[in-house]
Chain A
Amino acid sequence: MKLLDKKINEVLNSKFNQRLNEIVGEIVSRLGNVLGTENITVKKTSLNSKDDARSRLKLVLMHDRSKLDPGTLGKMRDELVDVISRYVEIDREALDLNLDENESNTIALVANIPIIRNK
């Protein structure tokens, strides 16, 4: 029996065993990630920031291409409100004027104007 104990100790001290411990450690930490106990580390490896880049870029390019900056768009929106208000009563705050891109890559000015009631 003592001989067997000695052998076991030898194995435990061997370099290979250290490797094995590292591997087990790696597997345990990975499993932790999978089971959601260490969500933070998972998030660190991927922030899914690509979608942010895509949508921000699309918006800024629409403004660039149409040569309409958000300030000009706001001014236009205010003037539109004035003109339309002469004919119909509209909800001034709810008027929504935006740039939009359709399938053929052309840019459109899209307005959503909720009418309260006819004058």
Chain B
Amino acid sequence: MTGRVIVITSGKGGVGKTTSCANIGTALAKNGAKVALIDTDIGLRNLDLLMGLENRIVYTIIDVIEERCKLNQALVKDKKNPNLVLLAAAQTRDKTALTAEQMQDICNRLKEEFDFVLVDSPAGIEQGFQNAIAGADEAVVVTTPEMSAVRDADRIIGLLEAKEEIKGYKLLLNRVRPAMIKANDMMSVEDVTDILSVKLIGIIPEDEDIIVSTNKGEPIVNMDNTKAGIAYSNVARRILGEDVPFISLEPPTGWLDKIKNLFLVGANS
């Protein structure tokens, strides 16, 4: 079997790479795919926390390349889905502990066993980023509708285009606030895709439940009826080849609805 290696990257930090990696991976596994997640943010690992697996990490990617354990021993199984595993980053080392060739080798070995290998990239464009994209076939570029994140995404897209091995990349627009877009105070989905001239793989609305999900160490796709959870599930289905329409971005109730609500409350009291 030859799986697909997809790197989740962004340039700018804090736009949701790790959250996206955890959720897309979990959603793919829920659809029956065999999925391996790799955290390449050596020294600043967090994917284990978002997956709620921080207490189960024995070996890391550095232990694998320095031959202190076999690759299979370092793969930590997800709490719920046996089809999903995590290869954690080392916390006590830095980005120089790994080379692009070693990363490529690990990706090649994993894609023989798994349908999907999702690589969580660190922020920046230095060695850590170069390592993360080394074994990738495709990329998901995460950005938010903010100038600095879009500018950094453009830089990343330039670097991805220069790399022949990467056959395609798509944009994941995160933390979208429909009410601000409607008020003309946030760039719209079209504004961002126009400026970057790139195709979309998903639109994730800003959702407070993401914080709850992180607190619990439970990816939001495992929580019922959350805006971001539904959006991430849709991303996974699109990656699997399904034609899923993008969710509507209608902002919640305006002042007219508020007055209606006041009347309803008044009638009840």
Contacts and interface: CB of A to CB of B under 8 A. Distances in A.
B197 interface: yes
A13 B163 CA distance: 74
Interface residues on A, range: 20 to 34
A16 B259 CA distance: 14
Contact of A30 (B146, B188, B255): B255
B264 to A, nearest CB: 10
Nearest to A51: B184
B262 A22 contact: yes
B191 A105 contact: no
A22 B261 CA distance: 12
Contact of A19 (B154, B258, B269): B269
B111 interface: no
B151 A61 contact: yes
A64 B185 contact: no
B262 A26 contact: yes
Interface stretch (A3-11, A41-49, A77-85, A90-98): A41-49
B123 interface: no
Contacts of A65: 154, 158
Contacts of B262: 19, 22-23, 26
Contact of B147 (A15, A26, A53): A53
Interface of A: 15-16, 19-20, 22-23, 26-27, 30, 45-51, 53-54, 56-58, 60-61, 64-65, 105
24 contacts: A15-B269, A16-B266, A16-B269, A19-B263, A19-B266, A19-B269, A20-B266, A22-B262, A23-B262, A26-B255, A26-B262, A30-B255, A47-B185, A48-B184, A49-B185, A50-B184, A50-B188, A50-B191, A53-B147, A57-B147, A57-B150, A58-B195, A65-B158, A105-B197
